[in-house]
Amino acid sequence: MNKPLSAGEIVKDAWARMRSNLGSLIVIILVYLIVNAVLGLLAVRLEGIGSVILGIVEIAVGIIMSMGFLNISLKLANGESVSVGELFQTVTPFFSFLFASILYVLIVIAGTILLVFPGVIWTMKFYLYPYFVIDQGMGPVAALKASAAATSGAKWDMLAVVYVLDIVVLLGFFAIVIGLVPTIPTAAIGYALMYKKLASNGAEPSAA
C-alpha cells in the first residue's frame, strides 16, 4: 500500500527547493508583476475597441504566464533549474488549458449548487487537471479524467495539503506582504510535488 500524502513533508521539500532557486524565482515574480502592471495601466488609458483588444491580450498573456509559472513549478519539483524566459514559453497547450479550466469551474459550481460537500469533493477530484495538461500534453477531458483517477482515495489527504499550503501563503501575506515572495513559490512547488506523487503511484486510499 502506498504511503499517504504528508503535508509536512511536502511543505518541507517545497521550501527547500524554493530556497535553492530563490534568486531565479524573485526575477520571475518581478517580471510577472511588471507585465501585469504595464498591461493594466495601458488598459486604463485606452478607450473603445482599443481597450477591448488590450483586455483580450491581457487575459491571454495572463493565461500564458500562469501556464509558464505552473511549468516552472513542475521543473523545480523535478529538481531542474529554471529561468525567467520560461514564464512565456508554455504556449502550445493554451486552448486545452483554457477549456479544461472552464470545464473545471463549471463542475465545481455544479457540485456546490447541489451541496457544499460534493463541491469540495469534485474540487479535489479534478484539482490536478492543469498539471496533466502542461506536463503530459493532455486535452481538457483527458486531463480531467486523469486527475479523477490520480486523486482516487486521496482527496482528504489532498485537502490537508492544500489547506497547509494556503496557510503558508497567508502567513507570507501577513509578513508585510513581502513574505509572499518565498511563500507563493513554495506553495506552487508544493502543489507540483503533490501532483507528482499522485500521478506516479497514487496515495493510500481513504474514505473518499
Mean pLDDT for all residues in the chain: 89
Domain count, the chain: 1
Is there a domain that residue 184 lies in?
Answer: yes
Is there a domain that residue 95 lies in?
Answer: yes
Is there a domain that residue 207 lies in?
Answer: no
- Is pLDDT of 204 > 50? no
Is there a domain that residue 110 lies in?
Answer: yes
> Hey, what's the cell of 165?
499550503
| Region of poorest pLDDT, from 42-56, 73-87, 114-128 | 42-56
Q: Stretch 190-197: mean pLDDT, rounded?
A: 96
Q: Of 187, 202, 106, which is closest to residue 153 (Cα–Cα)?
A: 202
What is the SS3 assignment for 171?
helix
Is there a domain that residue 143 lies in?
Answer: yes
> Hey, what amino acid is at 200?
S
Question: CA geometry: angle at 14 spanning 152 and 97, to 5°?
Answer: 55
Kindly tell me the number of DSSP H helices and DSSP E strands found in the chain.
9, 0
> Hey, what amino acid is at 24?
S
pLDDT at 177: 67
Write out the residue range of the structural domain in which residue 77 sits: 7-200
Q: Stretch 37-42: mean pLDDT, rounded?
A: 86
> Hey, what's the cell of 190?
508544493
Is there a domain that residue 206 lies in?
Answer: no
Instruction: Please report which confidence band the pLDDT of residue 3 belongs to, taking 50, 70 and 90 as the band edges.
Output: low
Question: Cα 35 to chain center, whole Å?
Answer: 19
117 near 110, Cβ under 8 Å?
A: no
Nearest-angstrom CA–CA distance, 19 and 192? 16
- pTM of structure: 0.88
